[in-house]
Amino acid sequence: MFFASDNSGPVPQQVLDALARANEGYAMGYGSDALSQSVADRIRTLFEAPEAAVYLVPTGTAANSLALATLCQPFQTVFCSDVAHIHEDECNAPEFYTGGAKLTLVRGGDRMTPEGLRAAIEGEETRGVHGPQRGPVSITNVGERGNVYTLDEMRALTAIAQEFGLPVHLDGARFANACVRQGCTPAEMTWKIGVDVAVFGGTKNGLMGVEAVVFFDPAKAWEFELRRKRGAHLFSKHRYLAAQMDAYLADDLWHDLASRANASCDRLRAGIEGAGLRVLTERHANMLFFEAPRDLHRALQAAGAVYYCWGSLESGAKEEPIMGRLVCDWSVTEDAIDAFVDLVKKAG
């Protein structure tokens, strides 16, 4: 009953196999090996973007920060949700990589509304040289509270960005999960609806640590390469990043893993809602936020369920509702889900 994070499970055997396969003989470093080149080509094909510049980095924070640094001047501000990972969970990495740009928070949770985004952008227009200048819009799909934007919802946001001439960054740490939930192609979720730079995440969906950054307009490709190196994220033995991505692309493993995780989450949601819990996430992919009395959380965790809560379980009234998060990674089993649901039923 491990629902703490999708960075906690094992990687599928295909990834280990790919590493072993890549481990033959000599390969030139820093991404100039054949496997790295081929993987970039296949990502271009997957995204139907033959001109795109594609780069691998080891962490999601690196992918986001480097992409934003390439899109955003230090005297600008990035527009994002007030619970965005780039704001809450990257220890000022975007500020560091951009050289001190600001983040302007769009209030209202993990799905920005067009109204909220427009208000935030317009709020940064009135001070000339005194205030930060408007910079990129950053969208996260799947959002940090588990919600999936529909393509229409994303399109409404990118349209506003375009209206103001601002580039759009997609934080796709859970790209595959969002894509599967919407039943769309990678192209449909990105450049076809106005995304300029997308992160195609692998780490939360079964890889050891690889994210692809995809620039649909390659004009800033060389700048990104320099920023990646300067940020110490250019792997010398790049083939081992490429190998993981190689496995991810083969036979649509990325899609398969996300489908499994999402299906597990469907089962989990049905189970706990059936047991009377209130789920806060409206349109989930592989992650649920729910509310339960402190007492119930304590009982579940005492019985071996592992997940995070937003608030203290130790002290406070036992009836007070506390928010918990349940994440399904690709490897979670039906048994684990059913066992958890049973626990909820018994404890609830």
Among the residue ranges 98-106, 182-190, 259-267, 294-302, the one whose residues contact a second copy (CB under 8 A): 98-106
Question: How many C-alpha atoms does 24 have within 13 Å on its Cβ side?
Answer: 8
Nearer to a second copy, 62 or 148 (CB): 62
Among the residue ranges 191-199, 201-209, 274-282, 283-291, the one whose residues contact a second copy (CB under 8 A): 201-209
Site mask for a second copy (CB under 8 A), range 145-184, x = bound: ----------------------------------------
Q: What is the 3-state secondary structure (H, E, C) of 205-244?
A: HCCCCCEEEEECCHHHHHHHHHHHHHCCCCCCCCHHHHHH
Name, in order, each residue with C-beta under 8 angstroms of 129's C-beta and a sequence gap of 6 or more.
none
Q: Name which of residues 294 to 323 contact a second copy (CB under 8 A).
A: 306, 310
Nearer to a second copy, 193 or 300 (CB): 300
* Interface with a second copy: number of residues (CB under 8 A): 74
The CB-of-10 to a second copy minimum distance in angstroms stands at 5
The CB-of-151 to a second copy minimum distance in angstroms stands at 28
Q: How many other β-carbons are positioned within 10 Å of the β-carbon of residue 32?
A: 10
Q: Read out DSSP for 40-51?
A: HHHHHHHTT-TT
- The number of angstroms, rounded, from the C-alpha of 178 to the middle of its chain's C-alpha atoms is 9
Q: What residues are paired with 134 via a beta bridge?
A: 77
Does position 19 interact with a second copy (CB under 8 A)? The reply is: yes
The CB-of-163 to a second copy minimum distance in angstroms stands at 18
Does position 333 interact with a second copy (CB under 8 A)? The reply is: no
Pick one of 46, 84, 103, 199: the residue that binds a second copy (CB under 8 A): 103
Nearer to a second copy, 189 or 234 (CB): 234
SS3 state at 329: coil
Contact 293, 321 (CB under 8 A): yes
Pick one of 97, 191, 200, 289: the residue that binds a second copy (CB under 8 A): 97
Q: How far apart are CA 94 and CA 294, in angstroms?
A: 35
Does position 274 interact with a second copy (CB under 8 A)? The reply is: no
Rounding to the nearest 10 degrees, give the CA dihedral for residues 34, 40, 46, 51.
-120
Q: How many other β-carbons are positioned within 10 Å of the β-carbon of residue 235?
A: 19
Edge-to-edge, what's the strand order for the sheet holding 278-279?
Answer: 278-279, 287-293, 321-327, 308-310
The CB-of-346 to a second copy minimum distance in angstroms stands at 23
Nearer to a second copy, 128 or 183 (CB): 128
Contact 159, 194 (CB under 8 A): yes
Does position 133 interact with a second copy (CB under 8 A)? The reply is: yes
The CB-of-260 to a second copy minimum distance in angstroms stands at 16
Q: How far apart are CA 30 and CA 93, in angstroms?
A: 23
Contact 144, 173 (CB under 8 A): no
Does position 203 interact with a second copy (CB under 8 A)? The reply is: yes
Strands 133-140 and 168-171: parallel
Q: What residues are paired with 106 via a beta bridge?
A: 81
Nearer to a second copy, 129 or 183 (CB): 129
Q: Name which of residues 37 to 76 contact a second copy (CB under 8 A).
A: 57-62, 65-66, 73-76
Pick one of 91, 314, 317, 319: the residue that binds a second copy (CB under 8 A): 91
The CB-of-83 to a second copy minimum distance in angstroms stands at 11
Does position 234 interact with a second copy (CB under 8 A)? The reply is: yes
Nearer to a second copy, 7 or 45 (CB): 7
Does position 100 interact with a second copy (CB under 8 A)? The reply is: yes
Pick one of 20, 119, 270, 302: the residue that binds a second copy (CB under 8 A): 20
**Position of tokens 């906690």?**
8
Does position 215 interact with a second copy (CB under 8 A)? The reply is: no
